[in-house]
Structure 1
Amino acid sequence: MEAKRLQQESGPAKKQQGKKRFNIDLLRAEEDVDGLIEALQSDNGLTRQRAALALGDFGGAGAVGPLIQALGDPLTAVREAAADSLTLLEGAAVGPLVELIENPEASVKYEESPAPGGTATVTGPGGRTWEVETRRDLRRVYAAAILGEIADPSAVDPLVRALHDEHDDLRCQASGAIAKFGRRAVELLAKVLADPDPDVRIVAAGVLGDTGEASAVEPLIGALHDENDDVRGAAAGALIRMGDAAVGRLIDTTKDGDRNVRLYAAGALKYIGDPRAIDALRALALDEDKDVRSVAEDAIDKIQMVRGGMPAEPSPPTSR
């Protein structure tokens, strides 16, 4: 009888004080996917976290749904473990994650009971804190982040469409995810720069700068002509981040007929600090517009100062 009791307690799960306990090490060793999925429902947060991590190693397509459900877990550690495992599952996870960001109601299928009402404070990817009304919103934010890590080309279009979503945090996370696709995202984002919503154009300009792709320079130069001050500022800031890749086109742009464009070009060249721009900036220092002259003179001084070993703190240019 004693031997039988010990055998029962050494198995994958055991009862103690009416609660089921799980031996995650044994479940992992036996690659017991069903047992690990059951462990995701444990009342012990560490057990749920370890189960989520284990499923990323061998859970396969069958683990995707339970892990997406875990993205709504009350504990940050469990949510992040589930996100890490979904990233490891790669292709099996892409379709369901895309569905989450494209259809807000898709999250309902991962709820055993209705999500709690009212507003709750939760901590998500990167330690950011959000006020969300349902676990649905949190899952969608994680879905965008995970798709960026998986970097499957089929996710690019849905992520770009998510820039129009009404949920601010999803738009923010989608923009960061898109930047990780590099060249594949530039063409789509360039089209977004024509969106009627200036907020969407601002995000698109910022993401283009984050891609680091030389092909992003031309659409960003075009965005310096935008009718919205904030869009122009976002484009200028993005060109600054592009650094050397943007210098040649910015030099050409110092001759543009639009004073705002010349102003932003001079400011961007100032903060990039490339000495190749000196001649163009000297020509701008004779510009008919006093603000353009002022920024060009500041840019010349700054570049010469940096070349002398005294770098200045950069910040995006603004129109005057």
Structure 2
Amino acid sequence: DDPYRDVRIAAGKALGRIGTFTVGGNIKKNLQSERPEVREAAVQALLSMDNLTGEIILKAFTNPDPKVRVTAIMMVNNRDPKMITSALLKALLDEDWQVRKVAAETLGSTLSSEAVKPLVDLCDDENMWVRYSAACSLQNISFLPESERRFALDKLVHLLEKDDDSVKISALESLAKIGDPTALRSIIKIAASKNDDLRRLTAEALGQFSGREVEAKLMKLSGDISAPVREAADQSLAKVRHEFSPKFKRQMGE
């Protein structure tokens, strides 16, 4: 009940580590408190307990308070993914956008094939920051079969071409990490953006590809009005000319 939030959270975590039956019972009661700060501290304590069960997780995920649900998702991030994947997938449909956003981020950190389609669907969410997180969570799809990977790539390309600049940034970063050449044309088009960050990220992304068109675009970006864009273009151009040169490929045994 301390007036300072950090003290309440620290106390909650300590109680969770103690994890006795009596303490656990008190924590569960506090989840129903009328005071939001008490509920937040309670879920921190509950999910810090060593004897955490799937039932307890599901209960925290369905708490009426969206802040409790957000905290619950953040707290289970480092636990067994199989135990919480089902609950996280349900959280993608939560009525609160912050819950959907954090659920997408958590699923992306341990991306599984069953989470890909729900995350792709979430890229159409009405909230910009949910779409941002969903796009970011799709950057680790290289393990997928071609048909499933194509489904996600097409959505990322659509976001890159049609969405708000912030979402475009997330989609661009994911496409750069994936490095699929079919997205190259869409990435090159973004080099004409008025947004300095998008042009800089385009310059960085082009460093993952090769070809005359890539080099020509990087040379143009190396004369950009923005210094960070010029620097990124110069670095990518040097990388492309080195790593994709015949001599370097021979040295790498390609």
Pick from 208, 217, 230 the counterpart of residue 303 of structure 1.
Answer: 208
- Provide the rounded CA distance (Å) in 2 between the counterparts of 1:239 and 1:190: 14
Query: Is 1:145 aligned to residue 51 of structure 2?
Result: no
Aligned-pair CA distance for 1:230: 1.0
CA contact (8 A) 1:176 1:207 kept: yes
Q: Name the SS for the 1:185 alignment partner.
A: helix
1:290 to 1:144, Cα distance in 2 relative to 1, 3 A: farther
1:261 to 1:98, Cα distance in 2 relative to 1, 3 A: farther
1:165 to 1:145, Cα distance in 2 relative to 1, 3 A: same
CA contact (8 A) 2:28 2:42 kept: no
Pick from 244, 255, 259 the counterpart of residue 158 of structure 2.
Answer: 259
- The share of aligned pairs that are identical, in percent, is 18
Aligned-pair CA distance for 1:193: 1.9
Aligned-pair CA distance for 1:140: 0.9
Aligned-pair CA distance for 1:307: 11
1:143 to 1:227, Cα distance in 2 relative to 1, 3 A: same
| Residues 38-63 of structure 1: per-residue CA shift (max 9 Å, x gap) | xxxxxxxxxxxxxxxxxxxxxxxxxx
Q: Read off the aligned partner of 2:52 and give its amino acid letter.
A: A
Aligned-pair CA distance for 1:97: 4.2
Aligned-pair CA distance for 1:141: 3.8
Aligned equivalent of 2:16: 83
CA contact (8 A) 1:254 1:266 kept: no
- Provide the rounded CA distance (Å) in 2 between the counterparts of 1:281 and 1:81: 49
Q: Read off the aligned partner of 1:150 and give its amino acid letter.
A: N
- Provide the rounded CA distance (Å) in 1 between the counterparts of 2:75 and 2:122: 22
Aligned-pair CA distance for 1:303: 1.9
Pick from 135, 142, 149 the counterpart of residue 236 of structure 1.
Answer: 135
Pick from 254, 266, 281 the counterpart of residue 183 of structure 2.
Answer: 281
| CA RMSD of superposed structures (Å) | 4.5
Number of aligned residue pairs: give it. Answer: 197
Aligned equivalent of 1:159: 60
CA contact (8 A) 1:205 1:234 kept: yes
Pick from 239, 249, 268 the counterpart of residue 174 of structure 2.
Answer: 268
- Provide the rounded CA distance (Å) in 2 between the counterparts of 1:78 and 1:195: 29
More strand by share: 1
1:295 to 1:196, Cα distance in 2 relative to 1, 3 A: farther
Aligned equivalent of 2:3: none
Aligned-pair CA distance for 1:183: 2.2
- Provide the rounded CA distance (Å) in 2 between the counterparts of 1:208 and 1:300: 24
| Residues 273-292 of structure 1: per-residue CA shift (max 9 Å, x gap) | x44x1x2122435779966x
- Provide the rounded CA distance (Å) in 2 between the counterparts of 1:269 and 1:144: 38
CA contact (8 A) 2:13 2:48 kept: no
Unaligned ranges ≥5, structure 2: 1-6, 162-167, 210-235, 243-254
- Provide the rounded CA distance (Å) in 1 between the counterparts of 2:189 and 2:65: 43
TM-score, structure 1 normalization: 0.47
TM-score, structure 2 normalization: 0.56
- Provide the rounded CA distance (Å) in 2 between the counterparts of 1:299 and 1:143: 42
Pick from 76, 91, 104 the counterpart of residue 33 of structure 2.
Answer: 104
Aligned equivalent of 2:125: 226
Aligned equivalent of 1:189: 88
